[in-house]
Structure 1
Amino acid sequence: MINESIKIAKQRHKTYVWLGVWEGNPKAIKFYQRHGFVVFSQHQFKLGNDIQTDIMMKLELM
């Protein structure tokens, strides 16, 4: 799925793709880092009564 998303973005002449991953999921963060994504920000949101933080990651498409 990740490869197909990158392929479509390139076909549409996008300069990068980005995603958000929950900070409490280090395996997912490492997975995306292995695929070239880097952290560029974070985003907090409310899930029920709990404040969650997503790590925002992007992959530059050259």
Structure 2
Amino acid sequence: MYKAIDMASIRKKSYIWLGVWEKNDKAILFYKKNGFYVIGQHSFFMGEEEQTDFIMRKDFKI
């Protein structure tokens, strides 16, 4: 994550985003503590099971 933030800063990006499984509470809490917030979701299949990822975004001041 820190490498992605560094690369975004070098490239003067205004935000980065990621997908995290909706049931991965520890990861969601970690990302929230690091400035990410949920902006949406999308579903995907793991074998026969449909699952959902939250799309999370972290904004940067340029």
Root-mean-square deviation (Å) = 0.6
Aligned: 1:45 with 2:22: no
Identical residues among aligned pairs (%): 46
Moved over 3 A (4+): none
Q: Which 5+ residue runs of structure 1 have no aligned equivalent?
A: none
Shift of 1:4: 1.6
TM-score calculated relative to the size of structure 2: 0.94
Count of residues paired in the alignment: 61
Q: Which 5+ residue runs of structure 2 have no aligned equivalent?
A: none
- Which AA in structure 2 matches 1:26? D
* SS at 2:12 equivalent: coil
TM-score calculated relative to the size of structure 1: 0.94
Quote the Cα distance in structure 1 between the aligned partners of 2:15 and 2:60.
5
Aligned: 1:19 with 2:25: no
Aligned: 1:28 with 2:27: yes
